[in-house]
Amino acid sequence: MTPWLVAVAQAALLALAAPLVVGVTRAVPARLAGRAGGRIAQPWRDLCKQLRKQPTSPADASMFFVAAPAVMMATSLIVAATGPFIAATSLFGGADLIVVVGLLLLGTVALALAGLDTGTAFGGMGASRAMVIAALVEPTLLLAVFALSFRVGSTDLSRIVAAGATEPARVFTPASLLAAAALAIATLAETGRIPVDNPATHLELTMVHEAMVLEYSGRDLALVEWAAALRLSILLGLLANLFAPWGVATSLDPMWLAVGAAVFIGKVCGLAALLSAGEVWTAKLRLFRVPELLAGSFFLGLLAVLASAILA
Amino acid sequence: MNPIAAGLAATTGLAMCASVAAIGTPSRWRARVVGVLTAVSGTAGVAAGIAAVTGIGWRAELPGVLPLAGLTLDADALSGWFLVIVGAVTTVVGIYTIGYAGGDGRGPGSGTSLTVLPVFTAAMALVPVAGSVPTLLAVWELMAVASLLLVLTEHRHRAAVRSAGVWYAAMTQAGFVALLVGLLWLAAATGSVSFAGIRSAAGHLPAAVTGAVFLLCLAGFASKAGAVPLHPWLPRAHAEAPSHVSMLMSAAMVKLGVYGILRVGFDLLGGGPRWWWLVVAALGALSALYGIMQAAVAGDLKRLLAFSTSENIGLILLGIGFTGVLAHAGNTLAAGLAMTAVLLHTVNHAAFKTLLFAGAGSVVRATGTRHLDQLGGLVRPMPVTTAFVATGALAAAALPPGNGFVSEWLLLQAFLHPGQGADTALTIAAPLAVAVVALTTGVAVVTFVKAVGTGFLARPRSDCAARAVESPASMLTAMGVAAAGCVALAVVPALATPALTRVLAGLQLGGTPVNREVLGLHLAGTAASVRPLWLAVGIVAVTGTVAVTARSLGRARRRAIAWDCGDGPLTARMEYTATSFAEPLQRVFDDVLAPERDIDVTHDTESAYHVAAIRYHQQIPDRIENRLYRPVVDTVAAVGTRARALASGSVHRYLAYMLVALVVVLVAGVIR
């Protein structure tokens, strides 16, 4: 199969599976709490319903508000297409770690500008909080994966994953464990999960992501929610493949790709279940305690980089 | 005739014409004539610079021009690189000046200001081609004095301009003294004033001399570059100067400080021990972090941009420091990579900072205020300016597909390859440098989201912002040229590879390890590559596809009132301001920034339980400035006040002073 086809297939797979992963993160806590909960496919139904509805723009909003959902979706799709999710082969050289972090950040920035563009206090509040969290998360993300790139000598995510898949001994190093912890915290913050943000909150004052997107409706909201779900899958997928790189296809053989896809979905759903089960026992942190958590993860990342540089 | 000579002659000649024209032309035409001549002069500078980076050398001695030493000009690839930056910024500023200074012939449009402007640009163009110590010192001082006069353009309107002028004058002269001592010492020790002579003799100097010379020159050049802790003039001068001067200072002049460090450190002194470069790297890390944190909490748009200049200079110095350390460790691959990143970032920063200061100038011109808390809603009256500023902000935040991203990518790659068996200092410094760059980038993103989001979007927060109108065509054209430069640097940086190779060879760093692939950058000896053009095209194409597909699926968009909690229309007072946007970040970095808050609660006279008014005042002082400079300033001021007692106004007393002075001189002469 050609690299192009693989990239498109990978993006399509992630885009289709992302709402289901969100469904898993909602179903697991519901079962643990003794509720029936929605179906796993419920996020997909919501998306389809919202996609049909008319979008509205606030009276004072400009092009930034209109463009943000598309930008967020596009950056997520590019990362989904080029990242090492089902196949760890350099597709277009686009799976560079720094590029991936930059693209995800670009999506966050677009949404934050849209939040400010609405001119409401909620939009500004959400944007301000989301950007502060992003400012502290992105360095962590960069450092954590950088720790892994030191041993490979490249920031190409596919190479890092492929190196891990072929030499499992590389995965279990102190640097790797520190980086995994840092990346896990960064993933929680980046995807707006407890304890950083509560995706199910209905109280505006505690919102981060939800406050920022409060003015979106119809297909705009669908795109934002879909892109957010896609980012959750992307980050969980990166976490899974960087620290458990088994089952990733290292060639473009269709059979291995099919295996890779199946294993990948399994890994991401497993991580999503684990994540949401953890949320049942955790309370959301006060907003101004969040930086302490993120500073902690930043230092974990720094230690990981130092460890991998010194022990390399 | 040598193309470099022709280009330089055209640059200086046209600048002089512009300067003279500013005196002779009526105020109605003044800005236009000077602007056009300056722009053409800048273009000639770009041509000369391009000729120089293609490897044509040029050297000239003009003994009659300067008394005693004469003028020595010497252009190599490094000179060419910085000449291109100065020339390109001058071109944009020339076009911008036509509209910006073309008002009532006062302030930036005054005869004095427009006479000095071309002198400043010509002096800047001569700095990188200076080929001897006296020449460099002369054009450096000319540049400093001309820029000081330009900073003081609006001194009658605001007291802050005068204070900024005093700070700038004091610091630039202190830096000049350091430079004077350092370079003259170097000339005396090597017995030659020309750079060629110094270069050949510097290898035999004792380490103590070269070390001291390097530190003195570093102090002089880094103060001009605005590196923390030598920065206090920068946020003042950049904020208070007219915007076209801010553009020149921030985009071009501070880069010449970088040029000086490269010229003296790598070229004249030929590398040097590791500790030099660790000092430079530490200076860079401090500047990057402190600069961006101050920028993130700045409420003044131009102050924000000024501190962002400190940040970018910090990243550049970090790269220079690593180049030195890596070259010392014998890792030419990574050293070349770091220097490539440094050189590209100087150009990138020049491009996006020209654009951003031009945008800030347009905003100030349209609204009369620089304060982000009073702006907002400019996207409707000023759509083109907003689009350009957003382009610049994308680059300044180092987000893909902006041009800042490319150079930061290269810088991070350099830290990733400290080499096998690298020494301990390097092994520890490289990850720390990654952390510094990562944190700086993160905070830079917040800073520029704040600048664009609160400055240009949503509703206007004051009448002056509500009355804003779009800038004249010449200013928009200038911004368009700068934005086109940003885009070109963002998508085809690979075109600069041949020039980079020559500059690096001149700095004795081998060549650049960045291979020029088809429209991409691939690093030799490593597996890293980035294709900025693909990235840009991909982002635009996928975004377009998503938007069009989503639109074709559903119904047309409708305007609606934003959610106002059912409590009447939303007013501008309910919006988040720049201060409130930065507040969470300020809390996070509370220990570093140490803001001074003052809350006055006034109670009702009838009941202490009812609050009548709350006054909140907050100021974020520059702590480094307060710690380092305040004591010096206070001491000087105290000595000055005491010394006033000497001047009592009595003629007898003054005659007595003269007599005492004469006796002292005579006695000193006799004893000697």
Contact B286, B279 (CB under 8 A): no
**B551, B577, B596: which is the final residue of a domain?**
B551
CA-CA distance, B229 to B233, in Å (whole number)?
A: 10
A267 close contact with B: CB closer than 8 A: no
Q: Any residues with CB less than 8 A from the CB of B604 and at least 6 apart, and which?
A: B610, B611, B612
Domain assignment present for residue B90? The answer is no
Identify the sign of the CA torsion A300, A302, A303, A304: positive
Q: What is the 3-state secondary structure (H, E, C) of B296-323?
A: HHCCEHHHHHHHHHHHHHHHHHHHHHHH
- Say how many domains are in chain B: 2
Q: Which amino acid is at B402?
A: G
Q: What angle do CA A178, A181, A182 make, to 5 degrees?
A: 85
CA-CA distance, B325 to B589, in Å (whole number)?
A: 30
Domain ranges of chain A: 3-311
Residue A174 has which token pair?
Answer: 């102190």
Domain assignment present for residue B44? The answer is no
Domain assignment present for residue B478? The answer is yes
Given A56, A59, A159, which is nearest B527 (Cβ)? A159
Which CA distances in Å does A295 have to A131, A140, A141, A182?
A: 15, 9, 12, 10
pLDDT confidence of residue B208: 94
Which CA distances in Å does B292 have to B285, B485, B571, B626?
A: 11, 24, 31, 18
Domain housing B650: 623-671
CA-CA distance, B355 to B480, in Å (whole number)?
A: 8
CA-CA distance, A195 to B31, in Å (whole number)?
A: 59
Question: Which residue would you say has higher pLDDT here, A165 or B238?
Answer: B238
B contacts of A159 (beta carbons < 8 Å): 527
CA-CA distance, A42 to A30, in Å (whole number)?
A: 13
B508 shares its domain with B362? yes
A146 close contact with B: CB closer than 8 A: yes
Which CA distances in Å does A16 have to A11, A20, B337?
A: 8, 8, 41
A contacts of B397 (beta carbons < 8 Å): 109
Beta bridge partners of B73: B60, B130
Among A4, A50, A60, A217, the residue to mutate for chain B (most B Cβ within 10 A): A60
In a 13 Å sphere around the CA of A212, the CA atoms on its Cβ side amount to 27
CA-CA distance, B506 to B243, in Å (whole number)?
A: 35
Decide if pLDDT at A61 tops 70: yes
Interface A-B: count of C-beta contacts within 8 A: 263
pLDDT confidence of residue A192: 86
Domain assignment present for residue B473? The answer is yes
Specify whether the backbone of A37 is left (phi greater than 0), alpha (psi in -120 to 50) or beta: left
* Closest residue, chain B, to A98 (C-alpha): B409
B504 shares its domain with B359? yes
pLDDT confidence of residue B472: 93
pLDDT confidence of residue B572: 87
Measured in Å, how far apart are chain A's first and last C-alpha atoms? 36
Contact B437, B284 (CB under 8 A): no
Backbone angles phi, psi at B194, to 5 degrees: -80, 150
B545 shares its domain with B644? no
In a 13 Å sphere around the CA of B581, the CA atoms on its Cβ side amount to 35
Neighbours of A204 (CB within 10 A): 15
pLDDT confidence of residue A90: 58
pLDDT tens, position by position, B204-223: 899 999 999 999 999 999 99
**B517, B535, B551: which is the final residue of a domain?**
B551
Q: Check CB contact under 8 Å for A120 and B561.
A: no
* Closest residue, chain B, to A107 (C-alpha): B399
B654 shares its domain with B534? no
pLDDT confidence of residue B114: 93
* Closest residue, chain B, to A227 (C-alpha): B546
Given A94, A149, A298, which is nearest B535 (Cβ)? A94
Q: Any residues with CB less than 8 A from the CB of B637 and at least 6 apart, and which?
A: none
CA-CA distance, B452 to B449, in Å (whole number)?
A: 5
B508 shares its domain with B374? yes
pLDDT confidence of residue A288: 83
Q: Check CB contact under 8 Å for A116 and B438.
A: no
Domain assignment present for residue B276? The answer is no
Q: Which amino acid is at B669?
A: G
* Closest residue, chain A, to B292 (C-alpha): A135
What is residue B535's DSSP assignment? H
Given B530, B545, B546, which is nearest A99 (Cβ)? B530
What is residue A247's DSSP assignment? T
B contacts of A113 (beta carbons < 8 Å): 449, 452-453, 457
Q: What angle do CA B613, B617, B623 make, to 5 degrees?
A: 165
Q: What angle do CA A297, A300, A305 make, to 5 degrees?
A: 130
pLDDT confidence of residue B380: 93
pLDDT confidence of residue B282: 96
Beta bridge partners of B300: B371
pLDDT confidence of residue B516: 63
Domain assignment present for residue B432? The answer is yes
Q: Where are the alpha helices (DSSP H) in B191-300?
A: 195-201, 207-225, 233-240, 243-247, 254-262, 274-297
B contacts of A66 (beta carbons < 8 Å): 557
CA-CA distance, A44 to A15, in Å (whole number)?
A: 11
CA distance B324 to chain A (A): 20
Beta bridge partners of B529: B522
Residue B250 has which token pair?
Answer: 């921030």
Whether the predicted interface score ipTM is above 0.90: yes
- Return mean pLDDT, chain A: 89
Q: Check CB contact under 8 Å for A138 and B441.
A: yes
Q: For B426-471, give the DSSP string.
A: HHHHHHHHHHHHHHHHHHHHHHHHHHHHHHHSSS-SSHHHHT--PP
pLDDT confidence of residue B109: 85
**B529, B551, B573: which is the final residue of a domain?**
B551
pLDDT tens, position by position, A129-161: 999 999 999 889 888 888 888 778 788 888 888
Beta bridge partners of B538: none
B342 shares its domain with B453? yes
A75 close contact with B: CB closer than 8 A: yes
Q: What angle do CA B529, B532, B536 make, to 5 degrees?
A: 145
Residue A305 has which token pair?
Answer: 């980089």
CA distance B292 to chain A (A): 12
pLDDT confidence of residue A221: 94
Residues of chain B scoring pLDDT < 70: 419-422, 511, 515-520, 524-527
Decide if pLDDT at A93 tops 70: no
pTM of the model: 0.95
Lowest mean pLDDT among A70-74, A108-112, A266-270, B153-157: B153-157
Which CA distances in Å does B220 have to A14, B89, B167, B268?
A: 55, 23, 15, 16
CA-CA distance, B350 to B93, in Å (whole number)?
A: 12
CA distance B531 to chain A (A): 7
CA distance A32 to chain B (A): 35
* Closest residue, chain A, to B530 (C-alpha): A93
B364 shares its domain with B449? yes
pLDDT confidence of residue A92: 58
Given B416, B457, B585, which is nearest A149 (Cβ)? B416
CA-CA distance, B226 to B261, in Å (whole number)?
A: 13
pLDDT confidence of residue B422: 61
Given B454, B526, B542, which is nearest A77 (Cβ)? B542
pLDDT confidence of residue B664: 96
B429 shares its domain with B527? yes
Domain assignment present for residue B359? The answer is yes
Question: Which residue would you say has higher pLDDT here, B480 or A88?
Answer: B480
Q: Any residues with CB less than 8 A from the CB of A298 and at least 6 apart, and which?
A: A136, A139, A140, A143, A182, B435, B439
User: Chain B neighbours among A 223-262 (CB < 8 Å)?
Assistant: 223
Contact B407, B485 (CB under 8 A): no
In a 13 Å sphere around the CA of B517, the CA atoms on its Cβ side amount to 15
